[in-house]
Every structure is written in structure tokens, then in C-alpha cells.
Structure 1
Amino acid sequence: MTLDVETPTPPMLKSAVDPNEYDDTTVSADDDYRRDQLSTLLREGAWEDAFEEWAADASMTEEEWDIVTDLDLVSRFDFFWDDFADRVGYHAPGIPEDWKEREVHPELSSWKEVSSINAGLTEFGQLVCEVLKEEYITWESEYEAPDDLPDF
């Protein structure tokens, strides 16, 4: 199913957030997460390329995307370089489990919608990472494994 919506503006990557603070991320690296370089690559086309690819196959409906837009969830994405793993890491925003009690959005009415939105944003975040790594990043990991690792 195709999601026929405009490509949103790439998020401003917040350099003050340590990726290890996210519940779903562990990064073994120094404090250089290359967010400035990733922001530049996102603005130079990686964001649009990933969004177009994701939207062409997205399971999210336009009504669900309107909720994402209304809540400004896209601006809460975070991307960072994990030098140890030689990959782009990310944190995808989402709708909290207590969305009903908090009355997050008046058009949000079912767990199916919440699940679709959260899964769609996660899939998009992963795709952004893949596009960045495969098509835009030209640097090499600076991490060097210690010489005393066992041979397997």
C-alpha cells in the first residue's frame, strides 16, 4: 500500500542526548556520535530517499500519518553513529502505552492504530539508517579491536 503524503522535514538531531539513555539502545563509543554529519546527509537527500522508499510500501494509512503529523512525532527521531558497531543507530518516536488515559490525540481510537503508527515509525527509522549507511556514509569506523581477542 502506498502512503501518498509529502516528505516531512528531517529532524534536528539533538547532540545533548546520549544514545545509551534510550531503553532500546546500547552504544559502545566515545562521545562523538557524528550527529552533525548525519544531519547534513539527511538534508542532502538521505531522508527524502528513505521516506520515498518507505512510503511506497508503508502499511500506515493517511489518517494515521495525519496523527503522526499532528503530534509532530517525526521531529523526535534521533540518529547517531555507533563507531563500535560500525552502524547508524536510531531512536524512533512513538505513541505511549497510556495513550487513552493521556488523551494523546482525539482521532486516535484503537490499539491497532497505535500499533500501526509505532511499527511504521520504527520501520522508517531502520530504513533511514540503512540508506545512510549504504548510500551516503563514506567514513570508516575508527574503532580498532584489541590485539588479544581470541581466534575462533
Structure 2
Amino acid sequence: MALDVESPNHPDLTNQGTPSELAASEVIGSESDLRREELERFLGDGAWNEAFEEWAEYTDLSQTEYEAILERGLVEQIDFFWDPVETRLRFVIPPVPDEWPDGRDISSKVRTELTDLGQAVIEMLEDGYVDWEDKDRSEKVWSEEKSSEEPVFDQ
């Protein structure tokens, strides 16, 4: 089922704390290592709108369910960050309430749809916006592979 809705504003990543998924000792240096300012710029440059439109085309949420999510601010609370330990983009969805106004239990569905939205944004960022290869790591792997091979000479 497709949602025919306008893309909401992208989440404000600069007001997020350290993700609970990262132990404080794992964060290298400072909050800037999470690259949120860069990610927020990419979201504003179009990654958010493109990913949201793609997600809205395939979501299983009804209009009413989507509006309930917006009213609770769940979309704007999704957190995107660079994981300096795993050297990859990650996201965290906010806690989803168990109680909904119409009495239905849609918590599981909402968690799934917010996760799908977060994944769509990550894929959009990786495919068209972010190019943060770990240069030192890739060069090291290349030189180790290269040095382990014996040179071959034509005779």
C-alpha cells in the first residue's frame, strides 16, 4: 500500500546524544566522529526526501497509522550516525509506545516500518551521497595482499 503524503522534515541529527548502541569507550575522540553534521547536510541535500518517497511507496502503514507516528514525533527521532568502530553507517529508531489512540496494537508494525525507513535512508546515503571508505584500512589490506604474492617474471 502506498502512502500519498509529503515528505516530513528530516531528523535533526545535531541534537542527538551518543547512541546507546555504542559504549562510551568505543566512541573515538568526540561526537564529531559520528559525522552527524555531514549526514544532516546529505539528508537536506535530498537523501531524506528520495529515501522517504521510496519508503512511502512500499510501506504497509495506513494514512491513520502514519499520522499517529508523526503526532508522536517518531520519524523525527530516528537517529543516523557513522559508527567509528564498525566503520559503517547506522541508525536507531526511537522507542515505540505500546498504547495507540484507537486501542489497536500496532507497535510491532510501527517498529518494522520505522526500521524499513531507516534502512531506506542508509541505502540512499550509501548509494548516492556518502563516500567514506576507510582509506588506511583498504590500503593496508591491498599492501598485505600484494606483498604476500611472489612476483612472477616471464622468462
| TM superposition score category, shorter chain reference | 0.7 to 0.9
CA distance in 2, matches of 1:35, 1:63: 31
Task: Specify the SS of the correspondent of 2:8.
Answer: coil
1:18 Cα deviation after fit: 1.4
Match of 2:92 in 1: 91
Which of 77, 84, 104 is residue 110 of structure 1 equivalent to?
Answer: 104
- 8 Å contact kept, 1:14–1:78: no
Match of 1:12 in 2: 12
5+ residue gaps, structure 1: 148-152
TM-score by length of 2: 0.77
1:59 Cα deviation after fit: 0.8
- 8 Å contact kept, 1:38–1:79: yes
Match of 1:59 in 2: 60
Letter of the 1:106 counterpart? P
- 8 Å contact kept, 1:94–1:117: no
Task: Specify the SS of the correspondent of 1:73.
Answer: coil
More helix by share: 2
Task: Specify the SS of the correspondent of 1:110.
Answer: coil
In the comparison of the two structures, how many residue pairs are matched? 138
Indicate whether 1:3 and 2:3 are aligned.
yes
Letter of the 1:9 counterpart? N
Letter of the 1:110 counterpart? R
Indicate whether 1:128 and 2:129 are aligned.
no
TM-score by length of 1: 0.78
CA distance in 1, matches of 2:132, 2:48: 18
Higher relative contact order (CA 8 A, sep 6+): 1
1:60-107 C-alpha deviation (Å, 9 max, x unpaired): 1111001011111111111001234332110112423xx33xxxx423
Which is greater in Rg?
2
4+ residue stretches of structure 1 with deviation over 4 A? 25-29
- 8 Å contact kept, 1:83–1:141: no
5+ residue gaps, structure 2: 142-155
- 8 Å contact kept, 1:11–1:76: yes
- 8 Å contact kept, 1:83–1:143: no
Letter of the 2:50 counterpart? D
CA distance in 1, matches of 2:133, 2:110: 34
Superposition CA RMSD, Å = 2.7
Task: Specify the SS of the correspondent of 2:91.
Answer: strand
